[in-house]
A and B are shown apart, each in its own frame.
Chain A
Amino acid sequence: MKLTKALCCALTGLLVPAFLSGCFGGGGNDNGGGNGNIPTGPLDDGDLVYDENDNIVYNGVELKMWSVTTGDDAVVQDSIIAKFNELYDGMIRVTTTHTSRYDLETLMNTTMQFDRANAPDVFFSHGSRAGEYVDKGWLLPIEPYMEKAGIAVDKDDYVEALLDASSVNGHLYGLPQDVHSAMVVYRADILEKNGLEVPSNYKELIATCEAAIDLAKAGNLWIRGENSSGIPATEWRKAPVSTAYEPFPMAYGDMWVHEFVGFTAAVQNGATFVAEDGKPAWNSDEAAEGLQVLRDFVMPSDNSENKYALTKEYGSEYDVGNAPLRMGNSIFKFLGPWEYAKDLTEYGRLLSDDGGADNIGTMTVSNLFAKDTTKEYANKIKGEGHAFMLMETVTSRTKQCAAMVFADWMVNNAGVEWAKRGHLPSLKSVENSSEYRDDPAYAQYISKWGSCDDYVVMPSTKYYSYVDKYFKDSVQQAMSSQFKNSAVKSILQQKYDDCVGYIDLYA
């Protein structure tokens, strides 16, 4: 009995102080209700040291950056940063930690709550998320620090949509580096052999695909590629009549469809994503029309432009994969541009006896889902842009300025190397520079991905996660046979109601 009492006392003694100290704001990050720590006047010099020419002295400043890039992107980014470190040797040194987009925010959240001393100085993530990050109190507005570092931000040189995405209440929280989206890879050899045109808009895409299907049905479609029948990849053969030919395979679980194509289909038909108040705006007829286009690709109806399905239904399969295109069983596929270099290598090897990598081509998704190509938004592509953001935990003025010097250098100098990975520059001056345009990769494929100006990104909203997730859920359902009896508009409306329901609840 005594032991029980003693245990109870000990338990209470341990728990009560812990709760009292831990709860109700203790240790929390209070920086003005999540509106960001906005300086109200000119910045003081803090710990800045100037030389005789009034230039800031950077002496061994160590900057820590967390980056959302992984894999080959991370390798390229590291090589570009290595050039910066070499140039600023002894002055500024940047070390980068790469973390997958699926883990990065959780890691940052935990760090900003419990381990702020180890938070990074610079955060390289998607600019559209700045609104949410600012709401969490993670970021500083960069313009005052750019100004202090003596760097002028020429807003006219940047793609407007990218600046808007990183701005909250008129303050810029991220310096946009690039924009990227999904693009299309096509089998130029199959198109040419069968006398088919490379499509440039929605109607042409359907015409090309249906012509291929008709040829296949008649046993006249020539295909070639890797196969298991012992026929060399370069040898032409007729597509089998027994199985339906799928010129453009797509799955709703496919990352490209999920992240980019659904949004692009909506935007090319006039949809907007975010309303003035930051809530979703995609419960519109325009968005429904865009998703209907995708649904028709998978499940054509009497009212659809295409009479054949352009793809078989992949259902819950995560990914179409590369096999259909490689085997010649399809003509088009969606791909992240950062993987295109790999494809060039692969087809160079596969078809090395007959043209190699020239047998494939690439193009943007511009106009491919627009029912009315005369509209000004028909050629728009929904992308995502990376931006350099300054963390709220950086208190040293020298570090803050050094971070701005680094961000500015990266934006101006990553150029064509970064663009080869599908990340088109955010600066028009970089895009128009001779160094960028004269690179062979520009003529070969970068130019096929259009200009940064063709891209739109999700506007800034502190409800980003909700606006994004519920729309993606709508895309998934619109393309699923399980929901084929539900009108696309009703799917969108239901998801919109759920999304707004949660936003209002948490507000």
Chain B
Amino acid sequence: MKPVRTTTLREYAFKREKLNNRARSAGSLAFFFGPYFICFIMFFAFPLVLGLIMSMSSFTSNSVYPAEFVGFSNFKTVFTNPVMIKDFWSSVWYTIRFALIIVPLCIIIPLALAMLINLKPPGYKIFRACIYLPGIFPLTATGLILLRMFSYHNGFINALFDISVDWFGQTGTAWFMVGLFCIWGGIGGNFIIFCAGLENVDKSLYEASGIDGASPWKRFLYVTLPGIKPQLVMCIFTSLCGYMNLYGQNYILLSNTPDQDSVMTAVFRIQNMLLGSSRSYGYVAAMGIILGLIIAAISAVQMIATKERQGGNKRVSAFVDWKKSQ
């Protein structure tokens, strides 16, 4: 006869409580994390892996489902096919060049405006709202306003300055208009972030540096910038990612520009390649992956460049050690 295993009341209560705790934790986890997890699977993980599969597949004209696994053949084509080199890679290059110009502008301008607002001049709240306002309008509406204002024959700007410039017809001016659109409609977000960042910079540091005789420029350089560094890094990162994926602005403003090849961004080109049947899907997916990797690489470089240097801490530690030893 086997010995009967008995459980003390304490053990039973402990186990029961443990189970209850686990159930509560799992319930909380499911409640708070579940919706995000489902969305993550549906809208990120699934498309990403499906995109990878698509980029390694060929397609027929009558199905959006991959027909055959072709390995890295589509990637090879993107790098070697003359049409792809001419179209896709030139679009990537245009996008990178534009991002290199527009990202600094989309940091410097809102930062300058935020600093002015931070001085809290009379009516600064109205100015703050006005600066952010273009950002809350839909891209299409803002674009149409720009199209009207800069219209070749009936535009307010050409009439005001008595000039005759086809702003959206020539490649150079067309890109200028896209830049203007990006700045006008896009700086609001960065501006608000910088405003919040500047609010949190320790005011005593300004006073101390002022007493030490630091010039306004040096105060900006050694107090303001370090104080808003987290916001600055985030804004650079999001702006860079956003402008590397530029599409809507060019689509709205430049659909009628005759030299489409020179105003097409990478995402615009990818979108355009969906023309006709589904045969292009494999190449399009490969281009998407390549563009994603390029953006990731550029972002990595930017993150490394703006990373917190360890050297500074080392010096501080050395100073503290030295102070203690005195």
Interface residues of A (CB under 8 A from B): 3, 7, 10-11, 14-15, 18-19, 22-31, 33-34, 109, 113, 132, 135-137, 252-253, 312-318, 462-466, 469, 473, 476-477, 479-483, 498, 501-502, 505-507
Contacts known (A25-B65, A26-B65, A473-B260); A315 close to B277, Cβ less than 8 A: no
Q: How far is the CB of B108 from chain A (nearest CB, A)?
A: 30
- Asked if A317 contacts B153 (CB within 8 A), the reply is yes
Contact of B258 with A by CB under 8 A: yes
- Asked if B65 contacts A27 (CB within 8 A), the reply is yes
Contact of B118 with A by CB under 8 A: no
**Interface residues as binary, B166-199 with A (CB distance below 8 Å gives 1, 0 otherwise):** 1111110010000000000000000000000000
Contact of B41 with A by CB under 8 A: yes
- Asked if A19 contacts B49 (CB within 8 A), the reply is yes
Of the candidates B53, B82, B169, the one whose C-beta lies within 8 Å of that of A482 is B169
Q: How far is the CB of B177 from chain A (nearest CB, A)?
A: 10
Contacts known (A15-B46, A25-B67, A482-B171); A315 close to B166, Cβ less than 8 A: yes
- Asked if A28 contacts B279 (CB within 8 A), the reply is no
Please list 29 pairs of residues, one from A and one from B, whose beta carbons are closer than 8 Å in the complex, sorted by A's number.
Answer: A19-B49, A23-B50, A25-B63, A28-B60, A28-B63, A29-B62, A31-B62, A34-B62, A136-B277, A137-B61, A253-B256, A315-B152, A316-B152, A317-B256, A464-B276, A465-B275, A465-B276, A473-B260, A476-B258, A477-B258, A480-B169, A480-B259, A482-B169, A482-B171, A501-B81, A502-B83, A505-B84, A506-B277, A507-B279
- Asked if B69 contacts A136 (CB within 8 A), the reply is no
Residues on B with beta carbons closer than 8 Å to the beta carbon of A314: 152-153
- Asked if A462 contacts B53 (CB within 8 A), the reply is no
- Asked if A22 contacts B83 (CB within 8 A), the reply is no
Cα-based distance from A316 to B168 in the complex (angstroms): 6
Q: How far is the CB of B143 from chain A (nearest CB, A)?
A: 13
Residues on A with beta carbons closer than 8 Å to the beta carbon of B81: 501, 505
Interface centre among B45, B166, B276 (most CB of A within 10 A): B276
Among all A-B residue pairs, the 8 with the closest Cβ atoms: A28-B63, A501-B83, A315-B166, A137-B62, A480-B258, A316-B169, A315-B169, A506-B279
- Asked if B60 contacts A24 (CB within 8 A), the reply is no
**Which chain B residues in 26-73 approach chain A with CB under 8 Å?**
29, 37, 41, 45-46, 49-50, 53, 57, 60-69
Cα-based distance from A315 to B154 in the complex (angstroms): 12
- Asked if B170 contacts A24 (CB within 8 A), the reply is no
Q: How far is the CB of A115 from chain B (nearest CB, A)?
A: 12
Q: How far is the CB of B284 from chain A (nearest CB, A)?
A: 11
Cα-based distance from A368 to B280 in the complex (angstroms): 39
Q: How far is the CB of B147 from chain A (nearest CB, A)?
A: 8
- Asked if A466 contacts B276 (CB within 8 A), the reply is yes
- Asked if B258 contacts A23 (CB within 8 A), the reply is no
- By beta carbon, the residue of chain A nearest B154 is A317
Cα-based distance from A466 to B166 in the complex (angstroms): 28
Contacts known (A24-B57, A480-B169); A498 close to B275, Cβ less than 8 A: no
Cα-based distance from A115 to B171 in the complex (angstroms): 42
Cα-based distance from A441 to B64 in the complex (angstroms): 47
- Asked if B65 contacts A501 (CB within 8 A), the reply is no
Beyond known contacts A25-B66, A479-B258: 13 more, CB 8 A cutoff: A7-B37, A10-B37, A11-B41, A19-B50, A23-B50, A29-B62, A34-B277, A136-B61, A316-B169, A316-B258, A317-B153, A476-B258, A505-B81
**Interface residues as binary, B268-295 with A (CB distance below 8 Å gives 1, 0 otherwise):** 0000010111111001000000000000
- Asked if B83 contacts A316 (CB within 8 A), the reply is no
Of the candidates A7, A23, A132, the one whose C-beta lies within 8 Å of that of B65 is A23
Cα-based distance from A312 to B260 in the complex (angstroms): 22
- Asked if B276 contacts A483 (CB within 8 A), the reply is no
Cα-based distance from A132 to B280 in the complex (angstroms): 14
Q: How far is the CB of B218 from chain A (nearest CB, A)?
A: 46
- By beta carbon, the residue of chain A nearest B65 is A28
**Which chain B residues in 250-264 approach chain A with CB under 8 Å?**
256-260
Contacts known (A25-B67, A31-B62, A135-B61); A498 close to B280, Cβ less than 8 A: no
Residues on A with beta carbons closer than 8 Å to the beta carbon of B280: 502, 506
Residues on A with beta carbons closer than 8 Å to the beta carbon of B77: 505
Residues on A with beta carbons closer than 8 Å to the beta carbon of B82: 501
Contacts known (A28-B65, A135-B277, A473-B260); A15 close to B83, Cβ less than 8 A: no
- Asked if B49 contacts A15 (CB within 8 A), the reply is yes
Cα-based distance from A252 to B260 in the complex (angstroms): 14
Cα-based distance from A473 to B264 in the complex (angstroms): 14
Cα-based distance from A30 to B64 in the complex (angstroms): 11
Cα-based distance from A464 to B277 in the complex (angstroms): 10
Interface centre among B57, B61, B63 (most CB of A within 10 A): B63
- By beta carbon, the residue of chain A nearest B280 is A506
- Asked if B64 contacts A483 (CB within 8 A), the reply is no
Q: How far is the CB of A12 from chain B (nearest CB, A)?
A: 10
- By beta carbon, the residue of chain A nearest B68 is A24
- Asked if A28 contacts B64 (CB within 8 A), the reply is yes
- Asked if A498 contacts B276 (CB within 8 A), the reply is no
Contacts known (A316-B256, A463-B276); A24 close to B65, Cβ less than 8 A: yes
Q: How far is the CB of A246 from chain B (nearest CB, A)?
A: 11
Contact of B151 with A by CB under 8 A: yes
Cα-based distance from A136 to B61 in the complex (angstroms): 5
Q: How far is the CB of A298 from chain B (nearest CB, A)?
A: 12
Residues on A with beta carbons closer than 8 Å to the beta carbon of B168: 315-316
Residues on B with beta carbons closer than 8 Å to the beta carbon of A22: 50, 65
Of the candidates B41, B49, B62, B68, the one whose C-beta lies within 8 Å of that of A136 is B62
Q: How far is the CB of B180 from chain A (nearest CB, A)?
A: 15
Q: How far is the CB of A309 from chain B (nearest CB, A)?
A: 14
Cα-based distance from A253 to B258 in the complex (angstroms): 9
- By beta carbon, the residue of chain A nearest B77 is A505
- Asked if A252 contacts B49 (CB within 8 A), the reply is no
Of the candidates A28, A313, A505, the one whose C-beta lies within 8 Å of that of B283 is A505
Cα-based distance from A483 to B166 in the complex (angstroms): 14
Cα-based distance from A3 to B87 in the complex (angstroms): 46
Residues on B with beta carbons closer than 8 Å to the beta carbon of A480: 169, 258-259
Cα-based distance from A23 to B52 in the complex (angstroms): 12
- Asked if A34 contacts B60 (CB within 8 A), the reply is yes
- By beta carbon, the residue of chain A nearest B64 is A113
Of the candidates A29, A136, A477, the one whose C-beta lies within 8 Å of that of B259 is A477
Residues on B with beta carbons closer than 8 Å to the beta carbon of A482: 169-171, 258-259
Cα-based distance from A303 to B68 in the complex (angstroms): 55
Residues on B with beta carbons closer than 8 Å to the beta carbon of A28: 60, 62-65, 67
